[in-house]
Amino acid sequence: MDEKIKKKIRRLREQYGIPTAEKGVPLFRPGVDESCMATVYPSNDIRALGFKSAADKLVNIAANEPGYADYLVYSVLYLYRMYIELRLKTIIESAKQISRTGHKLEQLWEEVKPIMERSSQWFDDQELAAVEEKIKEFCKIDPFSDAGRYATNIKGEPTLEGMQTVDLKHLKQVMDSLSTPFEGSYTAIFEDRQGE
């Protein structure tokens, strides 16, 4: 590219505040600006809460800023699914002191269900059945944790097939209703372990 054109492009980018990638500037650095400094914790609990909180905030953006929902739906689906997955894993880890891997929600649920049945007074059998129903529904649309991230799966098949629209506000309300038994169970297990 002509040097004259390069200089003109650089000036235009500066004029309009278009960021320029610079060699030697690290991607990650320790926090400097306290207003946006994040502490990194070695905890799946805080990650689970972070995924749900981020999804909730994206739903609020989509609700208040027309035109964003079509872009944010994939991130919202992924973040809510990660919340469920991590919360199931943290319940297993807290109750059994073992670490779980894999992304299959139904397998994780099979381990978590009896733990939750014993762990909390925050919910009854009907609510537990509703949680199971929602997990199975999520498994149908995203069995391998790739539907929010990719348009096709590893086999080249379309993800989110048959889904045309998603009511993000409704999804958030249902996720909030799931978080009550998840958080109640996790808290009860954590408190029981503190008493040991």
Which pLDDT does position 195 carry in this prediction?
Answer: 63
pTM for this entry? 0.87
121 Cβ neighbours under 8 A, 6+ residues apart = 188
Residues 135 and 133: their CA atoms lie apart, in Å, by 6
* pLDDT in 10s for each residue of the chain, 196 residues: 688 888 888 888 889 989 888 889 888 888 777 888 888 888 899 999 999 999 999 999 999 999 999 999 999 999 999 999 999 999 999 888 777 778 899 999 999 999 998 876 767 889 999 999 999 999 999 988 899 999 998 999 999 988 999 999 999 999 999 999 999 888 888 777 766 6
Residues 194 and 180: their CA atoms lie apart, in Å, by 21
174 Cβ neighbours under 8 A, 6+ residues apart = 134
**Residue 189 class from Cβ within 10 Å (0-12 exposed, 13-18 middle, 19+ buried)?**
buried
Which pLDDT does position 71 carry in this prediction?
Answer: 94
Q: Which amino acid is located at 62 in the chain?
A: A
Which pLDDT does position 98 carry in this prediction?
Answer: 78
Region of 46 on the Ramachandran plot (φ > 0 left; ψ -120 to 50 alpha; else beta):
alpha
Q: Cα dist. 110→22, 106, 115, 173 in Å? A: 49, 6, 9, 24
Which pLDDT does position 128 carry in this prediction?
Answer: 93
Structural domain spans, the chain: 40-182
Which pLDDT does position 173 carry in this prediction?
Answer: 97
